[in-house]
């Protein structure tokens, strides 16, 4: 589990309100990830977390069959998801609630959250 700090808290806890929150720079009007207190593009510190739609497309993926940790469910899909309304942001995440073998590059997906105490892991499911 990630350790919460002032930079990443909005990202990891947005799911409590059903929101996927991505850092946005008010100076250059671009999104960036992972969360940071300074814009990765222009180094401005005029940044804040902004809720995005939570929809996107599978950019690439792999199906993992190896249980690396005792409580890991396999097979599972590890994917990179390109967000619709945060054009330069790609999240590394899991695709859940579907047959792992059915996932394809280009699939439309939508965020869903898995709660672990105060952390809400943003995962994605197929948008059908």
Contact (CB, 8 A) for 58 and 47: no
Q: Given the complex with Zn ion, which of 47 and 123 has the nearer CB atom?
A: 47
Is residue 42 at the binding interface for Zn ion, with CB under 5 A as the rule? yes
Q: Which stretch binds Zn ion (CB under 5 A): 18-26, 55-63, 71-79, 115-123?
A: 18-26
Residue 63 CB burial class (10 angstroms; 0-12, 13-18, ≥19): middle
Is residue 33 at the binding interface for Zn ion, with CB under 5 A as the rule? no
Strands ordered across the beta sheet of 20-25: 31-32, 20-25, 47-52
Q: Given the complex with Zn ion, which of 23 and 123 has the nearer CB atom?
A: 23
Q: Given the complex with Zn ion, which of 36 and 116 has the nearer CB atom?
A: 36
Contact (CB, 8 A) for 114 and 120: yes
Is residue 25 at the binding interface for Zn ion, with CB under 5 A as the rule? yes
Is residue 28 at the binding interface for Zn ion, with CB under 5 A as the rule? yes
Phi/psi for 102 (5° steps) reads: -90, -10
Is residue 39 at the binding interface for Zn ion, with CB under 5 A as the rule? yes
């Amino acid at each position: 589990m990630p350790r919460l700090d002032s930079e990443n808290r909005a990202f990891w806890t947005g799911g409590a309100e059903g929101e996927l929150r991505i850092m946005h720079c008010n100076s250059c009007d671009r999104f960036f990830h992972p969360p940071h207190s300074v814009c990765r593009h222009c180094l401005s510190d005029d940044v804040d977390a902004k809720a995005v739609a939570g929809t996107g497309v599978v950019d690439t993926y792999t199906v993992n069959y190896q249980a690396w940790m005792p409580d890991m469910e396999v097979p599972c899909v590890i994917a990179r998801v390109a967000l619709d309304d945060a054009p330069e942001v790609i999240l590394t995440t899991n695709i859940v609630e579907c047959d792992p073998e059915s996932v394809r590059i280009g699939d439309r997906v939508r965020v869903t959250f898995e709660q672990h105490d105060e952390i809400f892991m943003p995962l994605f499911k197929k948008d059908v």
